[in-house]
Amino acid sequence: MLGVVPLAWAGGIGLLPMASVLMVEDDHQIRDLAVRALSSAGHVVRSEAMAMPGLQSVIDNTPDLVVLDLGLPDVDGEDLLRMIRAVSEVPIIVATARDDEADVVRLLNAGADEYVIKPYSGAELEARVRALLRRIEIGGQARILEVGGLRIDLRSRIVELDDAEIACNRKEFDLLAYLAGNPGIVIERAELYAQVWREPYGGADKTIDVHLSWLRRKLGETAAEPRYLHTVRGVGVKLVDPTR
């Protein structure tokens, strides 16, 4: 289970989840680097160099999160990803040298929650782990997100604004919940695509804008006079507490 320690971050008091992490990676240099980075961030890290012991460790040790190298000597990493998914809902970050969009989409569809492109730094991996744990924390424990007069119940998927329920479709809800889970932080469009639509961002697509405009209408605001939803031109979107 996730332990949580309070920590100041992003200008406010937030929660930094700590977790038991399983690292499956056959390259001992990468493995050592990753284990060091994650351990020094407070995580408890186990590691395996091969796929089958990795799968066994998922079953035996029920880690909170798995970092999975896709280039393993005994079993193809993508096959292992599917094998883990057959027995566990554990969040998985895949480490891949392949970074074209079709591959990334396929990996997300195969059950990866997040990916990191090799070569990566210890700090980058640690940031990915932290972001994913925060997402889990949002989905798993803090079932209600409250920002100003906005209240989002993640379990019943009910959104209320100033105590009045707002009907949202699935993607509107997911988008709003993701932004509300990171209040005050500008989220880049590529991240929204990856997290809400599970697709890489092409750049010209209007999907996010369309959903934002629907949400704004429901929240009683406009892009010109935003309250909760603020577009930061050329960067992304943030959700803020307008009462602060």
Pairing label, strands 20-24, 65-69: parallel
Q: Which is nearer to Ca ion, 26 or 199 (CB)?
A: 26
Secondary structure of residue 200 in the 3-state scheme: coil
- Give contact residues for Ca ion (rule: CB under 5 A): 26, 69, 71
Q: Which is nearer to Ca ion, 74 or 162 (CB)?
A: 74
Rounded Cα distance, 183 and 239, in Å:
5
Query: Minimum distance between the CB of residue 119 and Ca ion, rounded to whole angstroms?
Result: 11
Q: Which is nearer to Ca ion, 71 or 140 (CB)?
A: 71
- Number of residues written out for the chain: 244
* Residue owning tokens 């890290």: 45
Query: Minimum distance between the CB of residue 86 and Ca ion, rounded to whole angstroms?
Result: 22
Query: Minimum distance between the CB of residue 71 and Ca ion, rounded to whole angstroms?
Result: 4
Rounded Cα distance, 125 and 128, in Å:
5
Query: Minimum distance between the CB of residue 27 and Ca ion, rounded to whole angstroms?
Result: 5
Please give the residue whose beta carbon sits closest to Ca ion in the complex. 71
Exposure string (b/e) for 59-71, b if CB count within 10 Å is 16 or more? Answer: eeeebbbbbbbbe
Query: Minimum distance between the CB of residue 142 and Ca ion, rounded to whole angstroms?
Result: 36
Q: Which is nearer to Ca ion, 117 or 235 (CB)?
A: 117
Q: Which is nearer to Ca ion, 24 or 168 (CB)?
A: 24
Residue 210: its H or E element: helix 207-219
